[in-house]
Amino acid sequence: MTTAPPFSKVLVANRGEIAVRVIRACRELGVRTVAVYSEADRHSPHVLLADEATCLGPAEPEASYLNIGRLVDAARAAGAEAVHPGYGFLAENPEFARACEEAGLVFVGPPSHVIAALGDKDRARRLAERLGIPTVPGHPAADDDTLERAAHALGFPVILKAAAGGGGRGMRVVREPERFRETLASARREVKAAFGDDAVLLEKYLDRPRHVEVQIVADRYGTVVHLGERDCSVQRRHQKIVEESPSPAVDPHLRSRLGEAALRLAQEAGYVNAGTVEFLLDRDGRFYFLEANTRLQVEHPVTELVTGVDLVHLQLQVAAGQRLPLRQEDVVWRGHAVEARVYAEDPERGFAPSPGRILLLREPHLPGVRVDSGVQEGQEVPVHYDPILSKVVAWAPDRPTAVARLAHALQEYVLLGPRTNLGFLLDLVTHPAFLAGEVSTQFVEDQLAAWQAPDPPPEAVALAATLLAQEPRGPAPVASARAPDPWERLAGARLP
Amino acid sequence: MSVRVYLLYKGRQVPVEVRGSGDGYAVRVGERELRVGWQELSPGVAEATVEGVRLRFCYARQGDALQLHLAGRVYTFTRTREEVEARGARPEQDVRAPMPGLLTRVLVEPGQVVAAGQPLYVVEAMKMETVVRAARPARVLRVLAREGEQVEGGAVVVELEEGA
């Protein structure tokens, strides 16, 4: 199928794996790309991959990836028609969408007023209530005293959340009343640093629910379809780390009810482009609206693998004013997909970020496995941004095979330099409760809180000792004495 | 050649004796002696034979520190030049930064008595706040960094005196 490219040129206002993902999608559609980068990301893969690249400024996000003025200027200077925000940074910032709109740039996402309406969690929640979609009891963003009184009225435990923005930033569970003030202050600081606004809201913390979300996509002409659910119950520090589709807890009947709730919310909000409606699912199969994310999600590949739909292609097409090329009855689900997020962090030390230079990188290559990566060997993983390195996504006709493929891929994945969560993920996806599909948002805390990497077997100790017995040497590779070096013979020869 | 190598793994010392060189070593780890040979295929990627079993491993070395990837796991070792006194007699008296980052808040002052679990300071890195707490009741001896300063991972930020 050949259609005209949706745009001639798109600026990708992000970094890392999602920038790489969007640039590749643009390339497939014949769209030229402009990458942006901070001084810390000069050697990131997305910079070289794009057709053009513009340096935004210093490493600090406020000076680079969060700098609306610089981004809009860069897009106009490069002659871009549209801006794709990725996820995180300014993806859910209505002012950025508005600045693009005012500069005559197409923002690849919903209109700014829709982002503002749904991105404000209090407003989104009132919208859901008006539509008869159940919500978790809570209290909207307010001052410290009001929130503390509300927490006592709801009863502990409660959960604090950023009123604007997602990704688990600022999210804190408070179990003891005497920790409330201290925790609220810390949540406000983190939220302020991430989104520039310290509004925090409060919800009753449900006991061991699942996190289930519905992918929707809408065009400008009122057509909205849902692409089924993703189960993102496995989280650490309230950030998803393993996601799958379909959810082991959702049957076709529940799927259509969840999908219907998501579609009604999207239609009522005048939604356009790709988005996600998040729910908590309790142990009795009741679901509660949590929030709507007005952007592409980190975990979108699992939906792509089970539906065969390329969400970034659709985003670009509907942003260009094209009609959705599929109706609800065209959406068919096939097989099972599961994703694991690879982070530069130390699971043995509370998942503390672990920046540094990547000294060796071997990504897995297996049938049915997709790796969305944003890093390369030799690159410095900067301290300034979210520590995600890549996502490993496995597909198979059934869940056990998909999970086994993911485990094999994690085992083959070699990344040396920064510490990573690869070993932790391997133990997670081979854990009996995960294999049985019996997880909740508390799974990591319940089952893997005291996780320690296994001790090295004797052969690892022996190999390490022989390597460390030698004096450290320079970076020059050791030439093999056996085979003559073919490059030697080329010396002096002219290559065509 | 016979070398005694003191390896540190997660703060524990493992003495290892290495005899031989090139592609044949006899390595004594505790009570066991292993016959080890390996050949580097490309920088950091090698094929080994340990006790007749063939395996593939990857490694990265920085000075005396080594990361070894074997069968899906990464192990980090450090070589120490001499035997380290068994630790444990002296309690941990300082609270180190868990990662490099920005010291956003210092919550204690020298002389202050802190309870177990009391927050001492806050480090922000990669957009995440980590609160460092006192493990046991103690008195603050010194605070070695200021708010707004960048601290290294493992840097001593607060010195505590226990049993205060």
pLDDT digits (tens, 9 = 90+) for A261-286: 999 999 999 999 999 999 999 988 89
Q: What are phi and psi of A358, to 5 degrees?
A: -80, 115
Query: b/e per residue, A237-256, with b = 16+ CB within 10 A?
Result: bbbbbbbbbbbebbeeebbe
Give the whole-angstrom CA distance, residue A290 versus residue A265.
12
Mutate to test the interface with B, among A452, A468, A473 (most CBs of B within 10 A): A468
Task: Decide: residue B6, CB within 10 A, 0-12 exposed, 13-18 middle, 19+ buried.
Answer: middle
Give the whole-angstrom CA distance, residue A50 versus residue A32.
8
User: What is the tens place of the pLDDT at every residue in A92-105?
Assistant: 999 999 999 999 99
Annotated active-site residue in A21, A125, A172, A295: A295
Q: Which of B103, B162, B110, B155 is nearest to B131 (CA)?
A: B103
Which B-chain residues 3-62 have CB contacts (< 8 A) with chain A? 3, 5, 7, 9, 14, 16, 18, 25, 27, 29-30, 32, 34, 36, 38, 40, 42-45, 48, 50-51, 53, 55, 57-62
Give the per-residue pLDDT at A394. 98
Which of the four pLDDT bands, split at 50, 70 and 90, describes residue B22?
A: low
A90 touches chain B (CB under 8 A): no
Contact of B29 with B16, CB cutoff 8 Å: yes
Residue showing tokens 């210092």: B106
The arrangement of strands across the sheet holding B128-133 comes to: B128-133, B119-125, B101-106, B150-151
Q: What is the mean pLDDT of residues A119-136?
A: 92
The arrangement of strands across the sheet holding A52-57 comes to: A52-57, A32-38, A9-12, A82-84, A106-107
Please report which helix (H) or strand (E) contains residue A395, including its range: strand A388-396
Please report which helix (H) or strand (E) contains residue A427, including its range: helix A422-429
Residue A109 has pLDDT above 90, yes or no: yes
User: What is the tens place of the pLDDT at every residue in B129-145?
Assistant: 788 888 788 888 888 88
User: Could you tell me what percent of chain A has a pLDDT over 90?
Assistant: 85
- CB-based contacts of A56-59 (< 8 A; 24+ apart in sequence): A59/A382, A59/A384
- DSSP-derived 3-state class of residue A492: coil
Q: Which amino acid is at A137?
A: P
Which of the four pLDDT bands, split at 50, 70 and 90, describes residue A494?
A: low
CA atoms within 13 A on the CB side of A367: 3
Residue A477 has pLDDT above 80, yes or no: no
Q: Which tokens sit at A60?
A: 């600090």
Residue A66 has pLDDT above 80, yes or no: yes
Residues 6+ apart with CB under 8 A from A283: A208, A209
User: What is the tens place of the pLDDT at every residue in A9-18?
Assistant: 999 999 999 9
Chain A residues near residue B95 by CB distance under 8 angstroms: none
Residue B88 has pLDDT above 50, yes or no: no
Give the whole-angstrom CA distance, residue A53 versus residue B152.
32
Give the per-residue pLDDT at A474. 52
Which of the four pLDDT bands, split at 50, 70 and 90, describes residue A237?
A: confident
Residue B84 has pLDDT above 70, yes or no: no
Mutate to test the interface with A, among B68, B95, B122, B147 (most CBs of A within 10 A): B68
A454 touches chain B (CB under 8 A): yes
Q: What is the mean pLDDT of residues A459-482?
A: 72
Give the whole-angstrom CA distance, residue A262 versus residue B25.
64
Which of the four pLDDT bands, split at 50, 70 and 90, describes residue A479?
A: very low
Q: How far is CA B157 from CA A437, B99, B109, B163, in A?
A: 43, 12, 12, 19
Which A-chain residues 286-315 have CB contacts (< 8 A) with chain B? none
Contact of B38 with B44, CB cutoff 8 Å: no
Q: What is the mean pLDDT of residues A160-186?
A: 88
Rg of chain A, C-alpha, whole Å? 23
Average pLDDT, chain A: 93
Residue showing tokens 């406020």: A62
Q: Which of A97, A105, A101, A98 is nearest to A77 (CA)?
A: A105
- The interface predicted TM-score (ipTM) is 0.85
B122 touches chain A (CB under 8 A): yes
DSSP character for A330? G
For residue B16, the cross-strand partners are B5, B29
* Facing residue for B58 by CB, picked from A384, A387, A414: A414
* Higher per-residue pLDDT: A243 or A170: A243
Q: Which amino acid is at A440?
A: S
A295 is annotated as an active-site residue: yes
DSSP character for B30? T
Which of the four pLDDT bands, split at 50, 70 and 90, describes residue B11?
A: confident
Give the per-residue pLDDT at A483. 45
Give the per-residue pLDDT at B160. 85
Give the per-residue pLDDT at B159. 86
Q: Which amino acid is at A64?
A: S
Residue in chain A nearest B39 by alpha carbon: A480
Give the per-residue pLDDT at B81. 73
* Higher per-residue pLDDT: A107 or B10: A107
B69 touches chain A (CB under 8 A): yes
Which of the four pLDDT bands, split at 50, 70 and 90, describes residue B94?
A: low
Q: How far is CA A474 from CA B2, B38, B39, B43, in A?
A: 23, 20, 18, 11
Which of the four pLDDT bands, split at 50, 70 and 90, describes residue B126?
A: confident
Task: Decide: residue A64, CB within 10 A, 0-12 exposed, 13-18 middle, 19+ buried.
Answer: buried
Give the per-residue pLDDT at A491. 46
Give the per-residue pLDDT at B89. 35
